C-alpha cells in the first residue's frame, strides 16, 4: 500500500510536470466554456423568468452545466495522451518496471483531476464577476462531485485508448457519444424545458443527474434527490471503470 502511494506520487508529479511544460492545452480547454459563459449565458436572462426554468437565476443554472460540459470534453480527450505513450514506447517502458499498474493509472488521473479543478476554479471566478451567487458550502460539495465526474470520464477515456489504440478512432468515438450525452443532460438549457419524451430519456443519463445535482448544490439545496443519486451513480461508475482499466493495463496493452 505504501509502495503504491509512493509510486502514485512519483507518477503524479511526473505527469503534472509534462502538462506544465506545455500549459497551452489547459488554456485551450477553457476557451470554449468561457465563450459560452460570456456570449450565451446573457441570452438566458429573459428566459429564466419563464415558468418552467429552474430556480436560482440564469447564471446559477448555467454555470454548473458548463462545468460538467468542460469535464466531459477535457476528460474524454485525456486518452489521446495515453495513445501517444503507447506509440512512443513510454508506456511499455513503464510496464517493464516494477511500478504498480494502479499507480500508473492514478498518476495520470490525479493530474487530470487537478487540471480540471483549476479550470473549474477559473470558470467559477469568471462567473462570480458576472453575477454568479453561489452558496459557499454547496460550492465546495459541488467541486467534490465535479471531481468525481471528471475522474469517471477520464478513466473511461484511458480504457478506450487502450482498447482502440488509435487517436482517430478515439476522437470519433468521443464525438459520437459526447454530443448526445451533452444534449440529453440539459447542460445548455435545462431539461425542464424539454418535451416529456426527451425528459424521460434524459432521466436515464447519469450526466443529467450530475448536472441537476450541481445546480442544486450551487444554490445550497442539499435536499434534492439528484445530489445523493449523482454521488452514488458516479462513485459506482468510477469504480467499475477503474477496475476495467487497471485490468487492461495488466494484460498486454502495448
Partner 1 sequence: MIETRQLCKTFKAGKQNVEAVRGVNMTVQKGEIFGFLGPNGAGKTTTMRMLSTLLQPSGGEATVAGYDLRRDPAQVRQKIGYVAQGGGSEPSMTGRENLVLQGRLFFMPAADARQRASELITALEMDTFADRIVKTYSGGQRRRMDLALGMVHRPALLFLDEPTTALDPQSRLHLWEEVRRLRQSGTTVFLTTHYLDEADALCDRLAIMDHGQIVAEGTPAELKRQVAGDVITLGLAVEMLPQGENLLHGQSFVREIHTRTDSLQVYVERGEEVLPVILRLLDSAQLPVQTVALARPSLDDVFLRMTGRSLRESA
To partner 1, the closest distance from the beta carbon of 116 in angstroms equals 20
Cell reading at 247: 485490468
DSSP state of 69: H
196 or 251: whose CB is closer to partner 1? Answer: 251
Please pick, from the candidates 1, 22, 31, 129, the single residue that binds partner 1 as defined by CB under 8 A: 22
Q: Contact 217/54 with Cβ under 8 angstroms?
A: no
Does the protein bind partner 1 through residue 243 (CB under 8 A)? no
Sites for partner 1 among residues 87-106 (CB under 8 A): 87-90, 92-99
To partner 1, the closest distance from the beta carbon of 105 in angstroms equals 15
Does the protein bind partner 1 through residue 55 (CB under 8 A)? no
Among left, alpha and beta (phi > 0; psi -120 to 50; other), residue 190 is beta
Dihedral pair phi/psi, residue 52, rounded to 5°: -90, 5
Cell reading at 58: 440564469
To partner 1, the closest distance from the beta carbon of 150 in angstroms equals 23
Tell me how far CA of residue 57 lies from CA of 50, 121, 131, in angstroms.
11, 20, 10
Does the protein bind partner 1 through residue 18 (CB under 8 A)? yes
To partner 1, the closest distance from the beta carbon of 10 in angstroms equals 5
Does the protein bind partner 1 through residue 10 (CB under 8 A)? yes
Which region among 15-23, 139-147, 165-173, 220-228 touches partner 1 (by CB under 8 A)? 15-23
Give the separation between CA 232 and CA 228, rounded to whole angstroms. 6
21 or 196: whose CB is closer to partner 1? Answer: 21
CB neighbourhood size of 241 (10 A): 20
68 or 78: whose CB is closer to partner 1? Answer: 78
Does the protein bind partner 1 through residue 85 (CB under 8 A)? yes
17 or 55: whose CB is closer to partner 1? Answer: 17
User: Which contacts qualify for 167-173: CB closer than 8 Å, 24 or more apart?
Assistant: 167/80, 167/83, 167/84, 170/79, 170/80, 170/83, 171/77, 171/80
59 or 104: whose CB is closer to partner 1? Answer: 104
Does the protein bind partner 1 through residue 135 (CB under 8 A)? no
Give the separation between CA 106 and CA 73, rounded to whole angstroms. 19
What residue ranges bind partner 1 (CB under 8 A)? 7, 10, 14, 17-18, 21-22, 85, 87-90, 92-99, 251-252, 254
Amino acid at each position: 500500500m505504501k509502495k503504491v502511494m509512493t509510486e502514485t506520487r512519483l507518477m503524479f508529479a511526473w505527469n503534472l510536470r509534462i502538462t506544465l511544460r506545455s500549459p497551452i492545452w489547459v488554456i485551450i480547454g477553457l476557451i470554449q466554456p468561457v465563450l459560452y459563459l460570456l456570449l450565451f449565458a446573457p441570452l438566458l436572462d429573459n428566459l429564466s423568468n419563464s415558468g418552467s426554468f429552474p430556480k436560482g437565476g440564469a447564471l446559477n443554472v448555467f454555470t454548473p452545466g458548463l462545468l460538467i460540459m468542460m469535464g466531459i470534453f477535457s476528460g474524454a480527450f485525456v486518452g489521446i495522451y495515453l495513445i501517444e505513450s503507447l506509440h512512443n514506447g513510454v508506456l511499455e517502458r513503464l510496464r517493464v518496471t516494477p511500478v504498480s499498474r494502479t499507480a500508473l493509472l492514478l498518476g495520470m488521473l490525479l493530474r487530470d483531476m487537478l487540471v480540471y479543478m483549476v479550470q473549474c476554479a477559473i470558470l467559477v471566478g469568471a462567473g462570480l464577476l458576472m453575477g454568479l451567487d453561489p452558496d459557499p458550502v454547496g460550492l465546495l460539495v459541488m467541486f467534490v462531485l465535479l471531481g468525481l465526474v471528471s475522474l469517471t470520464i477520464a478513466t473511461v477515456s484511458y480504457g478506450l485508448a487502450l482498447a482502440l489504440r488509435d487517436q482517430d478512432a478515439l476522437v470519433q468515438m468521443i464525438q459520437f457519444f459526447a454530443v448526445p450525452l451533452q444534449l440529453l443532460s440539459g447542460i445548455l438549457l435545462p431539461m425542464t424545458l424539454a418535451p416529456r419524451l426527451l425528459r424521460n430519456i434524459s432521466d436515464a443519463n447519469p450526466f443529467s443527474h450530475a448536472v441537476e445535482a450541481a445546480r442544486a448544490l450551487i444554490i445550497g439545496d442539499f435536499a434534492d434527490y439528484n445530489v445523493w443519486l449523482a454521488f452514488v451513480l458516479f462513485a459506482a461508475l468510477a469504480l467499475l471503470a477503474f477496475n476495467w482499466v487497471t485490468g487492461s493495463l495488466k494484460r498486454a496493452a502495448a
